[in-house]
Structure 1
Amino acid sequence: MLSGRVALVTGGSGGIGAALCRALAAEGAIVAVGYRDRSELAGSIVQEIEDAGGRAASFPADLLVPRASELLVDAVESALGPVDVLVSNHGHAHRASFDEVDVGAWDETLAINLRAPFLLAQRVIPGMKDRGFGRILFVSSVAGFTGGIVGPHYAASKAGLHGLTHFLASRVAEAGITVNALAPALIEHTDMLPGDPGYLQRTIPVGRLGQPSEVADMAIAMLRNAYLTSKVIALDGGMHPR
C-alpha cells in the first residue's frame, strides 16, 4: 500500500523521526526527510536509506514561519512527486509551569506543534482527494490526554492535534484519506524526556522506556490500515489505561 508513494516526515532528523523514515523506506515509500537545522543528521538518514536501495531526499523548513509548511510541500512535490503520506512528527517542547509561560512561549509552541501540522494537512489534502488516496498521521503525546508535565502550552498544543484529527478525518474519509494521531510517551533517544531516564522508567508498568522503532512500528500499522481513521492511539507502556 505504501510502496512507491511519497511520504513526507517532518522532524525527520530526530530519534522518532529517523525511525519513521527508516520504517517507511522499508515499506518501499519514497521518503522526504523534513528537518529544521540538523542537516547532517537528515543527510545521514537519506544516505542510509539510499544505501539500502531506497529513495529519499532531505528538505529544510522552519515550521515556526507560517509559509514554511506550504513551501516545504512545494519543494517535496517538485523533487519527488505528489505527497500521498504525511507524517507530521516535528514538535517543540520547553518545560515550564503555568505561571512561567509567557505569550511568546505560548504562541511559539502552538505555532510549531499545532498550526504547522494543520497547514501541512491543508496543503496536501486537495491532491490526495484528486488521487483518491491519502494517509495523514499526527505524532502527538499522551500529554494531550493527561496534561503531562512539560507545561500547559505543550499539553494544549497536543490536545489541539487530537481535535484536528477528528475534524479532518470525518471530512475526507470518503475520498480515501485516513487521518489519525499517535500519542507516545517516554521514548528513549529523543530530546523530549522530561526528567532522569532511570527514574522515569520506574514509573512505566512495562519497566522501561519506549524505543523509537516501536513508535515507528505502530505508525506503519496505522498507515497501512485503510479502515482506521479518526483515532488517537496512545503508546506509553501501560502508564495510562484507556
Structure 2
Amino acid sequence: MDNHSLFDLSGRVALVTGGSKGLGKAMARGFSQAGADVVISSRHEEELRQALVEILEGTDRRGISLVADLARRADAQRLAQTAQERMGRVDILVNNAGTNIPASIDAVRDEDWDRLIELNLSACMVLTRALVPSMKERRWGRVIHISSILGLGSKTARNAYSATKSALIGMTQASALDLGPYGITVNCIAPGPFLTDLPARILSEAEKETFARRTALGRWGNPSELVGPALLLASEAGSYITGSTLVVDGGVMANTL
C-alpha cells in the first residue's frame, strides 16, 4: 500500500457531528477531499446547508446535512438511524459536537451540568451504540471522540466541561477493548487552543493571549490543522492505533513548569 492510499477514504461514509463550523467542518472537508461521502449535523439548518456546499466544493462526493440537538438522546438516535438509511452505512463516526458553560463547582447550575453531560458525553455513547452493530457486521469501523486538553488537566471554572471530556477518554479506552476484535478502532483527539467560535464566545482577550503564550508554538491553532490527525485515525494509516488519545495542542501540555 503506497503512502497516498494509506489515507484514502474512497468508499467510506463519515458522520461528523457539530459539522457546520469550526473543527467539525474542517474535518468533514478533509474527509470529503480524501474520498469519503459525508454526513454533518448541528442544530442550525441554514448553517448546515451552507457548510455542506463548502465541504463538498471541488469534490465528486455525496453529502447530506441533518438537523439534530444532540443534548436530546432521541435526536442522537434519530441522527444515527437517518444517516444509515440515507447513506446506506456509516463507517467513520466523529463525535465532535459539544459546548462549555463555565462555572466554578459551587456555582454550577443543575440544568447546565445536565446539558453538558448529555451533549458532550451521552450523545457520544448513543451514537456509538447505534452505529457499532453495522460496523461489527462489516468488521471495519472508526470511532473518533473529540475530547480536549481540559480532559487531561483543567483550569478554574471548567468543572462540568472537564468532567465530560475526561469521561470521553475513559470511554474511549473501554470501548476500544470491546470493539477491537471486530476491526473497529476507537480513539480520542484532545485539541488545545484552536480558533473556533467556542473560545471566542467564552474567553476574554486576556485569556486568549495567555493560552497563546502557553503553547510551544506561541499561537492558536487553525481548524485545518486538525484535519491531518483526524485523517490518520479515520484511515488505514491508523489501523493499529486504538484506545489512544492524540493530543493536538501546539505544545500546551509540554509546558508544565
| TM class by smaller structure | over 0.9
Note if 1:43 corresponds to 2:56. Answer: no
Pair 49,15 (structure 1): closer, same or farther in 2 beyond 3 Å? closer
CA offsets 1:167-186 (integer angstroms, 9 cap, x no match) = 10011111110000000011
Q: What is the Cα deviation at residue 131 of structure 1?
A: 0.6
Q: Which moved more, 1:99-108 or 1:43-52?
A: 43-52
Partner Cα distance (2:110, 2:47) in 1:
32
CA drift at 1:48:
2.2
How do residues 35-184 of structure 1 correspond to structure 2 at under 5 angstroms? Answer: 35-37=42-44, 39-52=45-58, 53-184=60-191
Contact 1:93 / 1:150 at 8 angstroms: preserved in 2? no
TM-score (norm 2): 0.90
Mapped partners of 1:218, 1:150: distance in 2: 29
- Give 1:229's aligned residue: 242
Deviation at 1:215, TM superposition (A): 1.1
Q: Distance in 1 between matches of 2:15 and 2:156?
A: 29
**One-letter code aligned to 1:214:** E
Aligned equivalent of 1:220: 231
Residue 208 (structure 1) aligned with residue 219 (structure 2): yes
Runs of 4+ in 1 over 6 A off after TM superposition: none
> Unaligned 5+ residue runs, structure 1?
none
Q: CA RMSD in A?
A: 1.5
Contact 2:70 2:123 in 1 (8 A): yes
Q: Which has the higher helix share?
A: 2
2:211 equivalent to 1:195: no
Amino acid in structure 2 at the alignment position of 1:236: D
Give TM-score scaled by structure 1 length: 0.95
Letter in 2 for 1:146: G
- 1:127-146 C-alpha deviation (Å, 9 max, x unpaired): 00001110000001001110
Letter in 2 for 1:240: M
Q: Is there any run of 5+ residues in structure 2 with no aligned partner, and where? A: 1-7
Q: Indicate the SS of the match to 1:32.
A: strand
Say whether the 8 Å CA contact 1:142–1:148 is kept in structure 2: no
Matched residue SS, 1:191: helix
Check conservation: 2:21, 2:51, Cα contact below 8 A. no
